[in-house]
Amino acid sequence: MDCLIIGCRVVDETKDFYGDIYIKDGKIADCGKNLNYQCQTIEANNLVAMPSFIDMHAHFREPGYTYKEDIYSGSLAALKGGYTFVNLMANTNPICSSMEIVEYVLNRCKELDLIDIHQTMSITKDFDGKTLDHLDDIDNRVKFISDDGKGVRSNLTMYEAMNKAKEKGLVIISHTEDEEIASIDARLSENIMTLRDIYLSKLTWAKLHLAHVSTKESIEEIRKIKKSSGNITCEVTPHHISLYDNDYKVNPPIKEKEDIEEILEGIKDGTVDVIATDHAPHSKEDKEKGSPGISGLETAFSICYTTLVKSGEISLNRLSQLMSAVPGRLMKINKGKIKTGYDGDIVLVDLSKKTQIHGEDFVSKGKNTVFNGKEFYGEIVATIRNGEIKYDGGIKVDNR
């Protein structure tokens, strides 16, 4: 589909100028000033056009827990939040330990034609903490393996998993939690597993991506290893960069102000590679029973923009890098930059618009959020995928 976006501020990890974007046959074909093409035209005056966001860590709960979320509702939530690509974790029911589950999710995504999805497969079969044979059946549709939701307790199993991942060209997304210690000391639980997985990655040369890093000590260790190893990346979440001393139940728990300060330094100095939502929708009943998690896709950009950019800590270019460019590179997809030949996936945002978060207004089935009643700047006005408007929050279109 052909689409011309005119009169916008164009921002990605390297660009920041006022101009237009032309998308032809689903790809960015031109980007500059005073473009003139006869096609569907979006008037984006006073809006910022950025590459749509890419989430490396989300839970859509299908198959098995569709009362919490499903691929359709999760995709709508992603689009409302400015995302056109999400990486789904394996803790479904059944657990994604087979290519049959991967095929089911990818086929469902194709049928809906809303966003693009990658389905992560479990490190250990059915999260049993020891069996790795199912990894032999992985084909090139799978790029990541993870037991997210629980840590791989056995040192030997993780060592063997990293060797297998290295052989097959897979990236391990590590949930760094020692469950035996977590109930006693959540900080120690994360730190000890972070150190172990960093060491094993260095030993095996397996690619390791550390999920939802939340402690100052973990950031410090990641910073150190990055000086000698290019195999390790990490992500932080919007709630771990904007909240401290808060007992809202998430896993890993929200930490202290000094942890936020170190995470912020990690964002500034490049230690942190990605901001990922860890979108974890739950029913009201499950949340009341103590299920950890935040429904985060619809609020991620406004929280990050307000906390990091509007506050003057980082540039909008750096935020685009964290939410689009680097995730795109790590996932090896043709998204994340506004550049000729890249997919025509664009999000239009109004940076001056202040909105108040109300979980009951989420399109996600999961209304669970710690941010109820809080105000943030940066509203998603439209999300475009392959040149087609998939979410319209109120834009002016001329079908010339």
Residues with active-site annotation: 278
DSSP 142: -
C-alpha to C-alpha distances, 211 to 218, 252, 274, 295, 389, nearest whole angstrom: 11, 10, 10, 17, 31
Residue 382 pairs in a beta bridge with 348, 392
Helix extents (H) in 3-152: 71-80, 99-112
Q: Which of 12, 4, 1 is nearest to 338 (CA)?
A: 12
Q: Name the strand (E) or helix (H) holding 238.
A: helix 238-242
DSSP 254: P
> How long is the chain?
400
Q: Is the peptide bond before 51 cis (omega within 30 degrees of 0)?
A: no
Q: Which of 50, 28, 24 is nearest to 325 (CA)?
A: 50
Phi and psi (nearest 5°) for 346? -130, 145
The CA-based angle 95-98-100, given to 5 degrees, is: 105
Question: How far apart, in whole angstroms, are the C-alpha atoms of residue 400 and residue 388?
Answer: 15
251: region left, alpha or beta (phi > 0 left; psi from -120 to 50 alpha): beta
Question: How far apart, in whole angstroms, are the C-alpha atoms of residue 373 and residue 24?
Answer: 41
